[in-house]
Amino acid sequence: IQEPRMIIVEVVGAKKNVALVRLNRPEALNALCSQLMDELAVALLKLDMNTEIRVIVLTGNEKAFAAGADIKEMRELEFAQVFGGGYLANWSALSDVKKPVIAAVNGFALGGGSELALMCDIIYAGDTAQFGQPEVNVGTMPGAGGTQRWPRFTSKSFAMEVCLTGSRITAHEAKDAGLVNRVYPAADLVAETIKLAEKIAEKSPIIVQTIKESVNSAYETTLNQGLRMERRLFHSTFATNDRKEGMKAFSEKRTPEWTSS
């Protein structure tokens, strides 16, 4: 197996339980070519199975989170190739990850780059971040969730403006619109995001995973189906040792010791 060339994976945090994945193709503003997305999919799968890792932080560099799918790679492709070959089918790997994935967005998050951030569970941004869906300017449209997630995260009207104009919005505008939770000075962003990841990493992994699945069902199902699913998942926590330990520790006024079982 070849070592990745276009991403860097590090284990970070005081307890070494957070993975920091950096997109690392700075010469192309982290444009998401097939090789980079293949490397990312493989790395995410490995991290999802690695029991030492509790939370994944995805970032780029200060200039760009990612400036979109690789236009130079796409330029000569024909319909039959992209449709028949399932072009960029590996993009869904990120939304298949069971552990929490937090995006730390500095610089450009455009097109597929913005969509990649929207696939993450939480988005923090640096004050220089810019989000946008400029596909309309190159004669195509978002293809990795842009037209679906923007309206769910913000509003239909806001999503229409972003997708139909291709104009970029700032980190603060993205926060006001409900896309981004917090905005930090660009230089502090990754450290602040790792702090958030460490806070989540303190919790029981099995319960964290269950909560992530339940929150996601709010986007994927009707309210009634989501509520039924939430109730069932809540019931299922009673089959875990961590639920017993959590409530016992509360009664004994001590910190719980999670075993993720």
70: left (phi over 0), alpha (psi -120 to 50) or beta: beta
Stretch that binds ligand CO8, among 1-9, 110-118, 190-198, 238-246 (CB under 6 A): 110-118
Local structure of residue 132 (DSSP, 8 states): E
213 a catalytic residue: no
Beta carbon of residue 146, minimum distance to ligand CO8 (angstroms, whole number): 7
Per-residue contact string for residues 225-244; x = within reach of ligand CO8 by CB under 6 A: --------------------
Q: Which of 108, 124, 150, 184 binds ligand CO8 (CB under 6 A)?
A: 108
DSSP H or E run through 44: helix 34-49
Residue 23 binding ligand CO8, by CB under 6 A: no
69 is catalytic: yes
Q: Using CB under 6 A, pick the residue from 21, 23, 28, 196 that binds ligand CO8.
A: 28
Q: Is 115 one of the annotated active-site residues of the chain?
A: yes
- Based on the shown chain and the rule CB under 6 A, indicate whether residue 69 belongs to the binding site for ligand CO8: yes
Span from 45-53, 69-77, 188-196, 237-245 in contact with ligand CO8 (CB under 6 A): 69-77
Of 39, 68, 115, 117, the catalytic one is 115
* 163 near ligand CO8, rule: CB under 6 A: no
Stretch that binds ligand CO8, among 27-35, 45-53, 54-62, 240-248 (CB under 6 A): 27-35
Residue closer to ligand CO8, measured from CB, 111 or 126: 111
Q: Does 6 bind ligand CO8 (CB under 6 A)?
A: no
Q: Which residue has the tokens 């937090």?
A: 102
Cβ of 202: how many Cβ atoms within 10 Å?
14
CB atoms within 10 A of CB 104: 28
> Which residue among 65, 91, 158, 184 contacts ligand CO8 (CB under 6 A)?
91
* Rounded Cα–Cα distance for residues 207 and 121 (Å): 15
Reported as type and span, the H/E element at residue 165 is: helix 156-165
Give me the phi and psi of 56, to 5 degrees please.
Answer: -115, 130
| 172 neighbors 183 (Cβ within 8 angstroms) | yes
Q: Which residues contact 87 (CB under 8 A, 6 or more apart)?
A: 77, 81
Q: Which of 110, 169, 189, 190 binds ligand CO8 (CB under 6 A)?
A: 110
CB of 254 to ligand CO8, least distance (A): 48
Please spell the DSSP secondary structure of 67-130, one letter per residue. Answer: --B-HHHHTT--HHHHHHTTTTGGGGHHHH--S-EEEEE-SEEETHHHHHHHHSSEEEEETT-E
160 contact partners, CB below 8 Å, separation of at least 6: 151
Q: Contact between 177 and ligand CO8 (CB under 6 A)?
A: no
Contact residues for ligand CO8, defined by CB under 6 A: 28-29, 31, 67-72, 88, 91, 108, 110-112, 134-135, 138, 142-144
Would you name the residues annotated as active-site residues?
A: 69, 112, 115, 135
